Amino acid sequence: MAIIGNPKYADRIALHLSKYPDKRSAVMPLLYIAQEEYGWVNDDAVNEVAQIIEIDPTQVRSIAGFYTMYSEKPKGKYWLQVCTDLACALRGADEFHHELLHELHIEEGGTTEDGMFTAEHVMCLGACDRAPMLQCNFHMVEKPGGLTMDDMRLFIEKARSGDADLQALIAEWRNLVNEHLKTFE
Ligand code: FES
| Predicted pLDDT at 88 | 93
List, as own/partner pairs, every contact residues 159-163 make where C-beta atoms lie below 8 angstroms and the sequence separation is at least 24, other chains included: 159/77, 159/78, 159/116, 159/117, 160/116
pLDDT tens across 15-55, in order? 999 999 999 999 999 999 999 899 899 999 999 999 999 99
The binding-site residues of ligand 1, defined as CB within 6 angstroms of any ligand atom, are 83, 85-88, 124-128, 131, 133
Q: Where are the domains of the chain?
A: 7-66, 78-182
Class of domain 78-182: alpha beta
> What ligand 1 atom has the least distance to the C-alpha of 88?
2
What spacing in Å lies between the alpha carbon of 88 and ligand 1's midpoint? 5
DSSP 131: P
Q: Give the pLDDT band of residue 1 (cuts 50, 70, 90).
A: confident
Q: Select the more confidently predicted residue: 184 or 15.
A: 15
> What ligand 1 atom has the least distance to the C-alpha of 132?
2
| Predicted pLDDT at 184 | 81
pLDDT tens across 103-136, in order? 999 999 999 999 999 999 999 988 888 888 999 9
> What ligand 1 atom has the least distance to the C-alpha of 130?
3
- Per CATH, the homologous superfamily of domain 7-66 is NADH-quinone oxidoreductase subunit E (1.10.10.1590)
**Contact 65/72 with Cβ under 8 angstroms?**
yes
- pTM to 2 decimals? 0.81
| Predicted pLDDT at 183 | 85
Q: Give the pLDDT band of residue 86 (cuts 50, 70, 90).
A: very high
Q: Which amino acid is at 83?
A: C
**Element containing residue 62 per DSSP (H, E):** helix 57-66
Rounded Cα gap, residues 98 and 104, in angstroms: 10
Number of other CB atoms surrounding residue 83 within 10 Å: 26
